[in-house]
Amino acid sequence: MIKADVFMFNKFGIKVKVLLNSFVSVFIFAIFLVWLVNIYWGVLLNNKREKLQSIVELGSTLVDSYIQLEKKKELTKEEAQKRALANILALRYSNNDYIFISNTKSEVVLVPPKPEMTGKDMSNFADPTGFKIYANFSEVAKKSGSGFVEYMFPKAGSTEPVKKLSYIKYMPDWDWIVGTGLYMDDAYNALFDFMKILLFACVFCMIVLIFIGIYFSNSVIKPLVDVCQYLLSSSKTLSNKSDELKKSSGSVKSYSKEQESSIQTTAAAISEITSMIGKTTELTTNSANLANSISTKAVSGEVSMKNMITSMHSIHEASSKLKDIENIINEIEIKTQVITEIVSKTELLSLNASIEAARAGEHGKGFSVVAEEVGNLAHLSGKSSAEIHDLLQKSRDEVQHILAQTIERVEDGEKRTLKVSESFTEIVEGIKEINHQIDQVSSATKEQEIGVKQISTAMGKLDQLAFKNAEESENSLKVTDEISNESNNLNNIVSKTENVIYGFHKKAN
């Protein structure tokens, strides 16, 4: 039940709560005024009662003095009663109020304004409400000896009954009931006047409290509303920024993962390229060594060709010396075998160079052309060597026949030898150029290998940075979630503040 009351109270805003507090304060003040009215009425009633008691005590004291005179035999009972009635009849107070006397038989002994009522039986006399006045006087006198009696009785000169309070005291010696009464309208008028003053004070206090409550609630609500609106705006902005940051962090995380994957793929590719470049460097070095070897052998072949030219000149000069032809032919055959061997090796080296150039890819295309040309020249040299060998073989068998044609053949051989010498010279120059280019390719390959290694190192660092970036994006997402939670907490605080200001039924903006 208490929780339900608290809930009902909490659903109102500050202004309503302040006004309710004001009304509660006014209600409490009204209760206090009712209590104060009761106290005031009690005071008025006590004043009436004290006044009645004092007057009755005065009358009873006067009657008792005559009773004592009777007891002392100074006066007879009849004389004492007569004097006592005369003195009571002369007593007046306030607005001509008086003391009356009756007995337990409800008979009137003395009513100063109405002497004709003396001796009448008033046991059935009742006020407009049916209350038997004298019968109740007798009953109170017999039962308590004294007491107050309330009844309705019209004022003198009026027929409208008014509430009246009487106090009676029983004098058993003479069977007299001495009493007096006062109308209560003056007390009621005083009470009504007092209530008017209190009611005015209550209304005034209520109006003042309501205005103070409204002013106080407005003075509190306005800054709180401004604070709530500012907090709500900040909360919405913070929530939007948090959502944007969350999306951005998610995108950064996704991009970081993609970057990390790409970097790892690139690093693997660079590693493979580095390995291939290493192999290319090794093959280039081997090609350079092979080219150097071919160059050396080509130089040697050139020297041999020069020697052969010299020999051809000697043959031309010694054409007449037929006896030396066979020896010269043998010498030429031996030289031709050397040439054939050189040509064979040159073709083999050309083939290997072509294979290595093919392995080198784009960088070996130029070298492949040169190697092919070297192969062609070697093949041509081999062919020429074979022809020389055939000629020598025929010369050996047909020395006599060849003798006639020696000069012509020697000249032809000299020309061919010159051409071969020129070819070997060109081969040597070409191989030197190939050597130079291979050296440049080898240097460039080494530099590329160094650069690729540096790129690989940099990619490794980028991989680490991408991993750290992913971790930072994870942390950023966590911070974004915390910001979002704080934004929600701020919204809850704003909502609670609005509940305090407006209650559960928020005013529509």
Burial class (CB in 10 A: 0-12, 13-18, 19+), 389: middle
List helix spans (H) across 96-147: 133-143
Predicted confidence pLDDT, tens digits, the chain (509 residues): 444 554 555 566 666 776 777 777 778 877 888 888 889 888 888 898 999 999 999 999 999 999 999 999 898 999 999 999 999 988 888 778 889 999 999 999 999 888 888 899 998 999 889 999 999 999 999 999 999 999 998 887 778 888 999 999 999 999 999 999 988 888 888 888 888 888 888 788 878 877 887 777 777 666 767 766 777 777 777 777 777 777 776 776 676 677 667 767 767 766 776 777 677 677 667 766 776 776 677 667 667 667 766 766 766 665 566 566 667 777 777 877 777 788 778 878 878 877 877 787 777 767 777 777 777 877 787 777 778 778 777 777 776 665 666 667 767 776 777 776 777 677 767 777 777 777 776 777 777 778 767 777 777 777 677 677 767 777 777 777 777 777 777 777 777 776 666 665 554 44
What is the C-alpha separation between 249 and 300, in angstroms, rounded?
73
Helices 323-360 and 365-397: angle between axes, nearest 10 degrees: 160
Check if the beta carbon of residue 290 is closer than 8 Å to that of residue 353.
Answer: yes
Share of the chain above pLDDT 90, in %: 18
Structure tokens at 362: 């784009």
User: Are 337 and 304 in contact, with CB atoms under 8 Å apart?
Assistant: no
Which residues have C-beta within 8 Å of that of residue 379, sequence separation ≥ 6?
343, 347
Rounded Cα gap, residues 474 and 472, in angstroms = 5
Tell me the per-residue pLDDT of 308-355, one tens digit each, with 9 for 90 and over. 667 667 666 655 665 666 677 777 778 777 777 887 788 788 788 778
Report the alpha-carbon distance of residue 70 to residue 133 in Å, rounded.
30
C-alpha 255/C-alpha 472 separation (Å) is 13
Contact 305, 424 (CB under 8 A): yes
Q: Is 405 helix (H, G, I), strand (E, B) or coil?
A: coil
Cα(38)–Cα(26) distance, integer angstroms:
18
Identity (one letter) of the amino acid at 200?
Answer: F
In angstroms, the Cα distances linking 446 to 305, 366, 367, 435, 453 are 38, 19, 18, 16, 10
CA distance 387 to 339: 12
Rounding to the nearest 10 degrees, give the CA dihedral for residues 360, 361, 365, 370. Answer: 30
Residue with tokens 């192999």, as numbered in its chain: 279
> What is d(CA 141, CA 107) in angstroms, rounded to the nearest whole number?
13
